[in-house]
Amino acid sequence: MTRLVSAIALATALAATTFAPVPAHATTREEPTRVTTSAAAPASIGEIKPPVAEKRPHSYTHHGITIEDPYDWLYDKSYPVVDDEAVLAHVKAENAYFEAKMAAQAPFTEALFTEMRARIKEDDSTVPQKDGDYFYWSEFEEGAQYRKHWRAPAVGDKADAAKAELLIDENELAKGLEYFRLGAASISQNGRYLAYSTDTNGSERYTARIKDLQTGEHLPDVLENLRGDLVWVANDTALVYGPSTEEWRTLEAKLHVIGTPVESDVTLYKEEDQSFGVGTGLTAQEDWLIIATGDNETSEVRLVPAANPTAEPILVKARQKGVEYSVDVRDGELWVWTNDNHINFRLAKAKLETPGDWQTVIAGSDDFYLTGFDLFKDFFVTEGRLNGLDQIQLRSYADPAKITPITFPEASYTAGLSNNPEYDMKKLRLAYQSMVTPSTVYDYDVATGKLATLKTQEIPSGYDPSLYVSERLTVQARDGTMVPVSIMMRKDRAEILKKAGIEGPGPLHLYAYGAYGYAVPPGFSTTRLSLVDRGFAYAIAHIRGGDDLGRRWYLQGKLFERTNTFNDFVDVGRGLIAKGYTAEGMVTASGGSAGGELMGAIINQDPKQYGAIVAHVPFVDVLGTMLNEKLPLTPGEWQEWGNPIESKEAFAYILSYSPYDQVVAKAYPPMLVTAGLNDPRVTYWEPAKWVAKLRELKTDDNLLLMKTNMGAGHGGQSGRWNSLKETAEEYAFILWQMGMADKAGGE
């Protein structure tokens, strides 16, 4: 079942991707060679010099302000095709330099990889969940990079395992490919057809196929260049999908009737505003098709009968700037989640005959941040956060004010509804974890209120949670705001550091994202143990720009308050130093995408604090990208960052913090930067230009490396072992720069 679709969630998903925390001191620096870039390695690896990009005169002027950008040529103007030989030569030269400098760390990297892999149960599977006549689950086989997806007929409340059938083998689909990712996957309501989409180069332009599960054969229908969900309608005779424009925007909801030419597909809705994105889904009872459009701050939703998708749509309420809403339908009654009269959202109802007349069911609250709701046959669930901690609340339709909370024992954790595909659910599937508690799957019995543990993440090499401690504290930012921080460390950290020859406060890795209202959950990570078991403290800064403490927390980190995000991060680090968790120069930090922008801003502001930085696909050329409306995401991002094309004030403000534009001649910490040549979210030239400018201006002797995945996109390499190897590489860099690379094994 496809659950409720939110235009807000859609816009956020299209715009923002976060990364698993990856952290990073100073060693040597070779004097740059002031010649043209070459990908050829010199005779001796020990003599390799960092590539130096050619400077070519280029400038642009807006609002009477002229910006010099001599590295603009690294932006191949034929993008998304990248075939400029000089550009490719420079990117390959950076990769060669990365490989050469990391070569001495290869044994340590391999040791870390082996250590990390040993914590992963190789032959693992998800807990089967019933949806209609079948139970569905996925599994990894031992050694496999990708999942297999299965189903088996339901016999009562159990699956008939003897009749299990393989739906998708990602390993087979990925054979011979450098990159593979499964996108949407949707079973028809009658259970016969499976529609699924795949991306084979990291560009996030998916191709969809339809498999007949009775015959095992694929239908001739092929949908190219699409994004988003695949939604079955018209009694399983048609699919609704979202094609991608040349600029990688989803502006339409199209209907494909199975067995007909794609050229005859009908457009159900077309969005004219290039800053909006369109998404689709089904209501709780699967009787209405939801067509949602929106950007980062405004929503508009239409409803169409799922049995007759070409019928005249019902407009729920016309878009109003700054008003966000999403909807569901139960027994012909419209339910609406919206921020129209309270910043932390309210829940309302309306009649389908008067869909814009919203009557409050649950009023907005200054204390409780309502993040969403789910409708079921006999009850509904509201989710949110109280004091930054996740809340799951069951409510009755007869008395919505009466709350049955699902409570958890730890002071800091992350929890929420998991896979609950049926409308008539008697037991709710929940997901729970904390920084010290591995991922746990529960069933919550609605009638009895009891939690049953179905699965706890298994760590084959062993894990004893009693060895670790997790804390949640607040640190005061420079403007007086108290910023929450979640920290994990070993209880015997002092002894571990003493054995490693480290006196005084040890290293601390600090992670954050801080954009698009995404709250980084204080969850569990097996890879993180490779730092913590070596004496690191690991901290997550819940900075403004995320919505950890409510919607206002998010708004205080966007547009003309964006610099709060950077200040919070710097001040949290300084606060943790003052509290004795670490020392200046012993803080390592990482972030990806908008979190990579954060990394660029903090090293411009307070470089002495950090021992090393890892910036994944960093959004560092903020001004240049926001001025280029031809780029895929730019129009939709103006609501987040500001429109410097139209506003001189926005231009000046973005310029004041844009990491690439603020690089100056001073010392910077050691850095590892990653990029993806096919990345449509943060284009490869942003990190390439940034690293080129850093190489030109930085005055330190610290190592600066850049690695570009030539056949991948925003999320790095695909496949669980390929991805894990990249994490091992990054951790090897961090520990190396912190003088701890010879400690090949954790405690």
Residues forming the active site: 593, 679, 714
Q: What is the CA radius of gyration of the chain?
A: 26
Is-contact 565 515, C-beta < 8 A?
A: yes
What's the token pair of residue 97?
A: 């330099």
Smallest CA-to-CA distance from 510 within 16, 18, 19, 24 is with: 24
Per the structure block, which two tokens stand in for 588?
A: 């390592």
Burial state string for 245-282 with b = 16 or more CB within 10 A and e = fewer than 16: eebbbbbbbbbbbbeeeeeebeebbebeeebbbbbbbb
* DSSP one-letter string for 658-674: -TTTT--SS----EEEE
CB atoms within 10 A of CB 630: 10
**Closest Cα to residue 96, out of 51, 52, 54?**
51
Span between the terminal Cα atoms of the chain, in Å: 45
Q: What angle do CA 140, 144, 147 make, to 5 degrees?
A: 40
- Which residue is associated with the tokens 């409720």? 4
Nearest Cα to 157, choosing from 141, 174, 134, 137? 134
Do the beta carbons of residue 23 and residue 738 sit within 8 Å?
Answer: no
Task: For residues 18 and 310, give the distance between their C-alpha atoms in angstroms, rounded to a whole number.
Answer: 37
Burial of 451 (0-12, 13-18, 19+ CB in 10 A): middle
Tokens 């590295």 belong to which residue? 71
